[in-house]
Amino acid sequence: MLFMYALTGVGLFFIGLYTLIIHVNLLRKILALNIMGCGVFLVLISLAMRSGYSSPDPVPHAMVITGIVVTVSATALALVLMLKVLEMTGKAELYDEEEV
Amino acid sequence: MMQFVITLPWAILLILFPLTGAIISFLWPTQSNKVGLVTVSFVLISVTFLAFSIIEHGVYHHAIGGWGSPLGIDLYADGLSLLMLLMTALVGLGVSVYATGYFSAEQSPRFWPLWLFVIAALNALFLSADIFNYYVTLELIGLAAVSLTAFGKSREAYSAAMRYLLATLLGSLLYLLGVVLLYHGFGSVDIATLSERCESTPILWAALTLISAGLLLKTALFPLHFWLPSAHASAPAPVSAILSALIVKSSFYIFLRLWLTIFGPLSEGAVENMFGLLGAIAVLWGSFQALRQTRLKLLIAYSTVAQIGYLFLAFSLAMSGAVVAWNAVVYLAFTHALAKSAMFLVSGNILYFGGHDRIMNLDRIAQHLPITTTAFALAGVSIIGLPPSGGFIGKWFLLEAALVQEQWGFVAILLIGSLLTAAYIFKVVSHAFTQSSLPHDSRPIPAHMEWAALLLAFAAILLGFFSSSILSVVGIGYPFELNGVKP
C-alpha cells in the first residue's frame, strides 16, 4: 500500500516535469516545480516505513521539513522575480533577447 | 602557541564568519563594505590555518554538537575540499576588494549580505560529508546566486535570473529525488557509509541518473548550458565572476565526490565516456560561440561553457584509468576560477570606464587602462593554456592522459579547443590595441579595481610554478582513490 504512495509521488514528479517543460507562462512553471517538489516529498515520506521495522524511520521526516522550508523560500523568490519580469516586459514569460 | 591556534575549529569558523558577517552587513548597511572586507579576510585566514592543520594532522573530521553520523551532521575536509575552500577564499578576496569600488553606496548594502551568504554556503558545501547536506547547501547557494543575478534590475537581468532560478531548482529537485532513492536503497546519506553499502542495483542506477542529470544541469555541461550565458553576462561584473568562478564549481565538486566514492567503483565505463563526449562537444561549441560574440561579457560566459567541457573531458579520462587526469581536473578547476574571475573583473572595468563592452569598440583601453589590459592578457594566457601558467599545467596533464590512453579524438579536440580559445582571446586583445573611429566618454576608475583583476590573473599564472606542492596537498586523504580496484 505504501508503495502506491511512492509511485504517486514519482507520478507527480513527472507530471510537474512535463508541465515545466511545455508551458511558457512563468506562474505555471513555478507551480510545476512545486508539484515536482511535493512528489519528491511524498516519495520520501512513504518510503520511511521500511520492511522489517515496526515504526517508521524519522530521518526522512526531518528531511522533508527541511525541504519544505527550502521550497517555500524558493517559491517566494520565484514569485517576486516573476512579478518583476511581468512589470518589465508586460507578460509573465521569459524574455528572449534574440527575439527582439 | 602555534599548536593551540592550529587546533581551533577553523572549519566551523569558515562557515560561521561569513554567516555572521552577512547578518551584520545587513543590519549595519552604512559599514557594509568594511564588514564585508573584514569577513573575507577572516575567511582566508581560517582557510590558511585549516590548511596547516590538515597538512600536519591529515584529514579533518568534526561531528557537529557531538552527534556523529548517522544522526548528526559531520564536517569533513581532505585535500580536495581544502583546495576548493582555498579557491573560494582567494577568488572571494579579489572579488570583494573589487566590489568595494564597483558598487555605489546605495548598492553595496544589498550586495554584501547575499555575497557573504554565498561564501558561507560554499564553505559549508565543501566541508559537508553527506548527500542531503549537499542538497541544502546547493539550494542556499542557488537562491543567493539568483538574487545576485537579478542585481542589474534590467529586464534582461530579471529574465536571466528567472531562467537561472528555474534551471537551478529543477537541478536540485532531480538531485533530491536521487538522494531519496539512495537513502531508501541503502539506508544512509553519509558518503562514507554509502560507499561501503552501495551495490549495483536498479535503485542505484536510477539514483545515479537523477543525481548526475541534476548536477550537470547546475554545472551547465553542454547541452544543459542554456541558462548560463544570459545569467553570467547580464549580472554585474563581480557577480559574474562569482557565478563563473565558484558557483559552477560547487555542483561539479559534488558530482566529482559522488562519482569517486559511490558511482565510480560500480560503473562499467560507458556513462563516463558519454560525459567525456559531452565535454568534448562543450569545448568546441563553447569556444566557437565565444568567438562569434560581439559583447565581451557574453564571450567570457561562453568561454566558461567551454572550460566546463575540459573538466568533464578530464573527468572521463581519469575515470577510465588515467590517474594523471585527476591532476588535470584539479588544476583546470583552480586556474579557471582565478583566470575567469579576473576576466569578468576586467570586463567590469571596461564597462565602468567606457560604459559599454562591445568588442569592436574596445579602443584606447590599452592606453588608458594598462593594468586592466595586462590582467586580461595574463588571464587569457592561463585560459588558453600557454606556459608557464596554471592552465598550461592542467592542459599538459590532460594531454598526457589522452596520449597514454591513446584517445586520439580527445587529443585533436584539445588542440582545436586551444586554437579556438587563442582566437577569441586575441580577438579581444587586438581590438583593445587598435584605434577606433569613435571617441567616447570615459570615467576614472579606482586603482584597486584594476589591481584586484591583475592579482587574480597573476595568481593563475603563479599556480603554474607550484604544481608539485599543490598536488601533494590535494592528495591528502586520497580523495582520488576509487574504492574498487581499476586497471
Name the band, by pLDDT with cuts 50, 70 and 90, for residue B438: low
Average pLDDT in chain B? 89
- Taking residue A20's Cβ as centre, other Cβ atoms within 10 Å add up to 20
Quick one: pLDDT at residue B375?
A: 94
Does the pLDDT at position B484 exceed 50? no
Domain ranges of chain B: 1-171+220-255, 277-487
Q: Is the pLDDT of residue B148 over 80?
A: yes
Q: State the smallest CA–CA distance between residue B141 and chain A in angstroms.
A: 11
Q: What is the mean pLDDT of residues B222-251?
A: 92
Partners of B295 in the β-ladder: B358
Residues 71-90 of A with CB under 8 A from B: 73-74, 77-78, 81-82, 84-85, 88-89
The region of weakest confidence among A10-24, B349-363, B429-443, B463-477 is B429-443
Q: What residues have CB less than 8 Å from B95, skipping those under 6 apart?
A: B115, B238, B241, B242, B245, B341, B345, B452
pTM beyond cutoff 0.90: yes
Look at residue B303 and tell me whether its pLDDT is greater than 80: yes
**SS percent in chain A: helix, strand, coil, step 5:** 75, 0, 25
C-alpha cell at B487: 586497471
Q: In chain B, pLDDT over 90 holds for what percent of residues? A: 61
Mean pLDDT computed over B343-364: 85
Cell 581519469 -> residue:
B318
All structural domains of chain A: 2-99 (1.10.287.3510)
> Residue B146 in contact with residue B196, Cβ under 8 Å?
no
* Grid cell digits, residue A3: 508503495
From the CB of residue A7, how many other CB atoms can be counted at a distance below 10 Å? 13
Nearest CA in chain B to A74: B143
Q: What is the mean pLDDT of residues A30-59?
A: 87
CB-CB neighbors (< 8 A) of B187 in chain A? 50
pLDDT, one tens digit per residue, over B175-210 is 999 999 999 888 888 888 888 888 888 999 999 999
Alpha helices in B248-321 (DSSP H): 248-258, 270-292, 296-319
Nearest to B96 by CA among B458, B448, B463: B448
Q: What is the pLDDT of residue B487?
A: 31
pLDDT in tens, B92-142: 999 999 999 999 888 899 999 999 999 999 999 999 989 999 999 999 999
Q: Which of A15, A24, A31, A63 to mutate to test the interface with B (most CBs of B within 10 A)?
A: A63
Tens of pLDDT, residue by residue over B38-61, are 999 999 999 999 999 999 888 888
pLDDT tens digits, B259-284: 988 888 888 778 888 999 999 999 99
- Residues in chain B within 8 Å Cβ distance of A43: 177, 180
